[in-house]
C-alpha cells in the first residue's frame, strides 16, 4: 500500500498527540511528537540557566545548540517512542507546567527551529509518518497528503491539560494551566518564524464536543481516502 505523510497541527492541548498516536498505530506508521523536541531543548536551556523567569540568554542558546542532541528511542515495554536529551531519557521531565511556561519563547528562535525542522524532515523523508506540531503542514511537510488542523475552546483544552497534570501527580492550579494555554497560543500564533496557522489545504477539526473514538474514525477515514488516492 502506498505510504503518505500525515501532518497534524493545531493549538496546544487539542489532543493532537492522542489522535496522531492512534493513527500511527493503526497504519503502522512512525509517530513524531515535534512538541517534545522543542520541550527537550527548553529543558536543556532551563538546566543551564539560559532561560529562567526574567532571563533569556538567546545568544548563549544559539552558541550551545550544536552540542545539544535530541532524539527518539523506542521503549520496548510500552512500544512508545521516548525523547532523549544528550543521551538521557527526559520523557517525563519535559511534560511539566514549568517547561510549558518556557517552551514558546524557545520555539521563537529561528536557529532552534532550523535544527529541529531539518531533523523532522530527515525522519519523515520515506513517508509513512504521522507528525504533530504547529508548523508541520506549513513548513516541515508542505506537500503532506493529509493535513489536519485541530482546535477546541481554551477552557476545554485547559481542562484536559489540568487533568493530565493532576493524573501525573503534579500540583497545579486550573487558572495557571488556563493562563499558560492562552499565553502559548498567543506566542505560537504571533511569532515571526513559522507561526501557527492553518495551511490552506488543511482540514479543520474542532473537537470541543467530539469524543476520542469519533475523532479517530473521522481522521482515519480521511487518511484511508488519501492512501487509496480517492482524494
Ligand atoms: O505540542 P506541545 O504543546 O508539546 O508543544 C510545545 C510547544 O512547542 C508549543 O507551545 C510551541 C512549540 N512547538 C512549535 O513551535 N512547533 C512545533 N512543530 C511543535 C511545537
- Cα-based distances in Å from 218 to 50, 151, 183: 43, 15, 30
**Class for the domain spanning 5-222:** alpha beta
Pure H helices in the chain: 16-27, 34-47, 58-64, 97-106, 110-123, 154-167, 174-190, 212-227
Among 12, 82, 123, 199, name the best residue to mutate to test ligand 1's pocket (greatest count of ligand atoms within 8 A of Cβ). Answer: 12
CA-closest residue to ligand 1 atom 6 = 35
> 2: closest CA among 23, 38, 22, 29?
29
Give the pLDDT confidence of 30-72 residue by residue, as tens digits: 999 999 999 999 999 999 999 999 999 999 999 999 999 999 9
Give the pLDDT confidence of 188-224 residue by residue, as tens digits: 999 999 999 999 999 999 999 888 999 999 999 999 9
CA-closest residue to ligand 1 atom 4 = 35
Distance 34 CA to ligand 1 centre (A): 7
SS3 23: helix
CB of 117 sitting under 6 A from ligand 1: no
Type and span of the H or E element at 6: strand 5-10
Among 42, 98, 103, name the best residue to mutate to test ligand 1's pocket (greatest count of ligand atoms within 8 A of Cβ). Answer: 103
CB of 35 sitting under 6 A from ligand 1: yes
42-51 — which CB contacts under 8 Å span 24+ positions? Answer: 42/94, 42/99, 42/102, 42/103, 42/106, 43/85, 43/90, 43/93, 43/94, 43/99, 44/68, 44/85, 44/86, 45/102, 45/106, 46/98, 46/99, 46/102, 51/102, 51/105, 51/106
> 178: closest CA among 39, 11, 54?
11
* Pairwise CA distance, residues 43 & 57, whole Å: 14
Give the pLDDT confidence of 48-57 residue by residue, as tens digits: 999 999 999 9
* Pairwise CA distance, residues 131 & 106, whole Å: 20
CB of 184 sitting under 6 A from ligand 1: yes
Q: Hey, which residues does 82 pair with through a beta bridge?
A: 73
* Pairwise CA distance, residues 167 & 126, whole Å: 36
CB of 42 sitting under 6 A from ligand 1: no
* Pairwise CA distance, residues 219 & 132, whole Å: 14
Band of residue 134 on the pLDDT scale cut at 50, 70, 90 = very high
Grid coordinates belonging to 18? 492522542
CA dihedral 171, 21, 190, 151 (to 10 degrees): -90
Give the pLDDT confidence of 75-93 residue by residue, as tens digits: 999 888 999 999 999 999 9
Given a contact cutoff of 8 angstroms between Cβ atoms, the answer to whether 37 and 31 are in contact is no
> 146: closest CA among 75, 200, 222?
222
Amino acid at each position: 500500500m502506498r505510504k503518505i505523510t500525515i501532518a497534524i497541527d493545531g493549538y496546544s492541548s487539542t489532543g493532537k498527540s492522542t489522535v496522531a498516536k492512534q493513527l500511527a498505530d493503526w497504519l503502522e506508521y512512525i509517530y513524531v511528537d515535534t512538541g517534545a523536541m522543542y520541550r527537550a531543548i527548553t529543558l536543556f536551556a532551563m538546566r543551564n540557566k539560559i532561560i529562567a523567569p526574567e532571563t533569556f540568554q538567546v545568544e548563549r542558546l544559539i552558541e550551545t545548540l550544536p552540542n545539544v542532541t535530541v532524539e527518539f528511542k523506542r521503549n520496548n515495554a510500552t512500544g512508545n517512542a521516548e525523547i532523549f536529551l544528550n543521551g538521557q531519557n527526559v520523557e517525563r521531565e519535559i511534560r511539566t507546567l514549568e517547561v510549558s511556561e518556557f517552551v514558546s519563547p524557545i520555539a521563537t528562535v529561528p536557529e532552534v527551529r532550523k535544527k529541529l525542522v531539518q531533523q523532522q524532515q530527515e525522519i519523515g523523508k520515506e513517508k509513512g509518518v504521522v507528525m504533530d506540531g504547529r508548523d508541520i503542514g506549513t513548513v516541515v511537510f508542505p506537500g503532506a497528503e493529509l493535513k489536519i488542523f485541530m482546535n477546541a475552546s481554551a477552557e476545554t483544552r485547559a481542562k484536559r491539560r489540568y487533568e493530565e497534570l493532576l493524573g501525573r501527580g503534579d500540583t497545579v492550579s486550573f487558572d495557571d494551566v488556563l493562563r499558560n494555554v492562552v499565553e502559548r497560543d498567543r506566542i505560537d500564533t504571533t511569532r515571526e518564524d513559522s507561526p501557527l496557522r492553518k495551511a490552506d489545504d488543511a482540514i479543520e477539526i474542532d473537537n470541543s464536543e467530539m469524543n476520542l473514538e469519533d475523532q479517530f474514525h473521522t481522521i482515519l477515514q480521511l487518511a484511508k481516502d488519501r492512501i487509496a488516492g480517492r482524494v
